[in-house]
Amino acid sequence: MAVWSAAEHVEGLFGLTQEGHVVHAQWSRWFSLTALACLAATLVNPYGIELHKHIVEYLFSSGTVTAQVAEWLSPDFHNPRLHWFELLLPLGAAAGLWHGLRGRLAWCVLTLGGLHLALV
Protein backbone atom coordinates (compact mmCIF):
# COMPACT_ATOMS: atom_id res chain seq x y z
CA MET A 1 0.00 0.00 0.00
CA ALA A 2 2.85 2.36 0.85
CA VAL A 3 4.65 1.56 -2.41
CA TRP A 4 1.52 2.22 -4.43
CA SER A 5 0.92 5.49 -2.57
CA ALA A 6 4.50 6.63 -3.19
CA ALA A 7 4.26 5.70 -6.86
CA GLU A 8 1.01 7.66 -7.23
CA HIS A 9 2.68 10.64 -5.55
CA VAL A 10 5.64 10.50 -7.95
CA GLU A 11 3.32 10.12 -10.95
CA GLY A 12 1.38 13.13 -9.68
CA LEU A 13 4.54 15.20 -9.45
CA PHE A 14 5.76 14.28 -12.91
CA GLY A 15 2.43 13.86 -14.70
CA LEU A 16 2.01 15.35 -18.12
CA THR A 17 -1.32 17.10 -17.58
CA GLN A 18 -2.85 19.16 -14.81
CA GLU A 19 -5.71 16.66 -14.53
CA GLY A 20 -3.14 13.91 -14.08
CA HIS A 21 -1.54 15.85 -11.23
CA VAL A 22 -4.86 16.19 -9.43
CA VAL A 23 -5.99 12.60 -9.97
CA HIS A 24 -2.68 11.09 -8.84
CA ALA A 25 -2.52 13.41 -5.83
CA GLN A 26 -6.02 12.33 -4.79
CA TRP A 27 -5.14 8.64 -5.17
CA SER A 28 -1.92 9.18 -3.25
CA ARG A 29 -3.80 10.76 -0.33
CA TRP A 30 -6.40 7.98 -0.39
CA PHE A 31 -3.77 5.21 -0.36
CA SER A 32 -1.77 6.96 2.37
CA LEU A 33 -4.81 7.31 4.62
CA THR A 34 -5.81 3.70 3.98
CA ALA A 35 -2.29 2.49 4.81
CA LEU A 36 -2.31 4.47 8.06
CA ALA A 37 -5.74 3.08 8.98
CA CYS A 38 -4.51 -0.46 8.29
CA LEU A 39 -1.42 0.12 10.42
CA ALA A 40 -3.53 1.50 13.25
CA ALA A 41 -5.92 -1.47 12.98
CA THR A 42 -3.05 -3.93 13.49
CA LEU A 43 -2.41 -2.37 16.89
CA VAL A 44 -5.92 -3.28 18.07
CA ASN A 45 -5.06 -6.66 19.54
CA PRO A 46 -4.57 -8.01 23.06
CA TYR A 47 -0.78 -7.58 22.84
CA GLY A 48 -0.61 -4.07 21.35
CA ILE A 49 2.80 -3.07 20.01
CA GLU A 50 4.46 -6.08 21.65
CA LEU A 51 3.11 -8.33 18.88
CA HIS A 52 4.93 -6.25 16.24
CA LYS A 53 8.13 -6.32 18.29
CA HIS A 54 7.91 -10.11 18.54
CA ILE A 55 7.39 -10.50 14.78
CA VAL A 56 10.38 -8.27 13.97
CA GLU A 57 12.60 -10.12 16.45
CA TYR A 58 11.46 -13.47 15.09
CA LEU A 59 12.04 -12.60 11.44
CA PHE A 60 15.36 -10.79 11.79
CA SER A 61 17.22 -12.69 14.49
CA SER A 62 19.92 -15.01 13.19
CA GLY A 63 18.95 -18.19 15.03
CA THR A 64 15.30 -18.45 14.01
CA VAL A 65 13.51 -21.00 11.93
CA THR A 66 13.54 -18.63 8.93
CA ALA A 67 16.97 -19.95 7.93
CA GLN A 68 15.70 -23.54 7.87
CA VAL A 69 12.16 -23.48 6.46
CA ALA A 70 12.25 -24.21 2.73
CA GLU A 71 9.42 -21.77 1.92
CA TRP A 72 11.46 -18.87 3.30
CA LEU A 73 14.72 -19.70 1.53
CA SER A 74 15.83 -18.50 -1.88
CA PRO A 75 14.74 -20.77 -4.73
CA ASP A 76 16.98 -23.72 -5.56
CA PHE A 77 17.19 -23.78 -9.36
CA HIS A 78 18.64 -27.31 -9.30
CA ASN A 79 15.22 -28.57 -8.21
CA PRO A 80 13.44 -29.97 -11.29
CA ARG A 81 10.08 -28.72 -10.02
CA LEU A 82 11.19 -25.09 -10.39
CA HIS A 83 11.48 -25.01 -14.17
CA TRP A 84 8.15 -23.17 -14.33
CA PHE A 85 9.63 -20.53 -12.04
CA GLU A 86 12.58 -20.04 -14.38
CA LEU A 87 10.16 -19.52 -17.26
CA LEU A 88 8.09 -16.98 -15.35
CA LEU A 89 11.04 -14.81 -14.27
CA PRO A 90 11.74 -13.28 -17.72
CA LEU A 91 8.01 -12.93 -18.36
CA GLY A 92 7.58 -11.03 -15.09
CA ALA A 93 10.59 -8.82 -15.86
CA ALA A 94 9.20 -8.08 -19.31
CA ALA A 95 5.80 -7.21 -17.81
CA GLY A 96 7.45 -4.87 -15.28
CA LEU A 97 9.45 -3.11 -17.97
CA TRP A 98 6.39 -2.89 -20.21
CA HIS A 99 4.50 -1.11 -17.42
CA GLY A 100 7.48 1.20 -16.89
CA LEU A 101 7.58 2.14 -20.55
CA ARG A 102 3.84 2.89 -20.44
CA GLY A 103 4.38 5.26 -17.50
CA ARG A 104 2.66 3.03 -14.94
CA LEU A 105 5.23 3.47 -12.21
CA ALA A 106 3.25 1.71 -9.48
CA TRP A 107 2.75 -1.45 -11.54
CA CYS A 108 6.38 -1.41 -12.65
CA VAL A 109 7.71 -1.09 -9.09
CA LEU A 110 5.36 -3.74 -7.72
CA THR A 111 6.12 -6.23 -10.50
CA LEU A 112 9.90 -5.82 -10.37
CA GLY A 113 9.86 -5.65 -6.57
CA GLY A 114 7.89 -8.90 -6.46
CA LEU A 115 10.49 -10.52 -8.71
CA HIS A 116 13.23 -9.34 -6.40
CA LEU A 117 11.45 -10.69 -3.33
CA ALA A 118 10.88 -14.02 -5.08
CA LEU A 119 14.62 -14.42 -5.55
CA VAL A 120 15.90 -13.44 -2.11
pLDDT (tens place) for every residue of the chain, 120 residues total: 777 777 777 777 776 667 777 787 888 888 889 989 998 999 998 999 999 999 888 878 777 676 777 777 788 888 888 888 888 999 999 999 999 898 888 888 889 999 998 888
Which pTM was predicted?
Answer: 0.63
Give tens-digit pLDDT for 37-64.
998 999 998 999 999 999 888 878 777 6
Provide φ and ψ at 76, rounded to 5°.
Answer: -100, 105
